[in-house]
Chains A and B, each alone.
Chain A
């Protein structure tokens, strides 16, 4: 396993507040990704990183920002949470050929 951990596992937040989700990996992998998963849409890429301080947008990046100041940590920030951002968020890292996913963060925006 890539040893990916996500925190928190569950969070409830109010509309308009900023929220940061953390992804931590212990395998020194270069590539890391943030996805959201919603019924009927599957997993959709939000942002990804190809190295420290190197990030780029995915298909559903509006309202999200990321930072990667260290190889092991990839942070996802919802700048001002909206109800449409209620979702399950998965972090992943590329492990050679494949990809390993964290356990997910269930975020509810009320």
Chain B
């Protein structure tokens, strides 16, 4: 099975940088995803890591260490619209497993002035 942990809540200031951590323990691994979800809306894709290292996409970066079962999402130049829940998800690596995603419970980020 999969066990994914991330902080429940974080607060940061507009214009600052925030790092949201995610640790996982899995029976198989075939990639780690970060999604953003605003209240009442569907999750939207932010980033994907399957190899160790940093993936950068504009103001958002995501890092993966497979040996440590660890990832983080880095948000730079925070804006008020970044207030949302950030979901860490792991895709299983089991053959015939349906490429399922298992999600953490999400980190609610609040950006303040």
Contact = CB atoms under 8 A, between A and B. Distances in A.
A101 B106 CA distance: 16
B86 to A, nearest CB: 11
B103 interface: yes
B105 A90 contact: no
A94 B45 contact: no
Given A41-B105, A97-B48, A98-B33, A90 B98 contact: no
User: Main SS of chain A's interface residues?
Assistant: strand
A47 B101 CA distance: 12
Given A48-B98, A48-B100, A101 B42 contact: yes
Contacts of B100: 33, 45, 48, 58
Nearest to B42: A101
A74 interface: no
Interface string A81-110: 000000000101010011111111000000
Contacts of A98: 33, 45, 48
A103 B102 CA distance: 19
B33 A99 contact: yes
Interface of B: 31, 33, 41-45, 48, 87, 89, 98-106
Interface of A: 31, 33, 35, 40-45, 48, 50, 56, 58-59, 90, 92, 94, 97-104
26 contacts: A31-B99, A35-B103, A41-B105, A42-B87, A42-B103, A42-B105, A42-B106, A43-B89, A43-B103, A44-B103, A45-B100, A48-B98, A48-B100, A50-B98, A56-B98, A90-B42, A97-B31, A98-B45, A98-B48, A99-B33, A99-B101, A100-B45, A101-B43, A102-B42, A103-B41, A103-B42
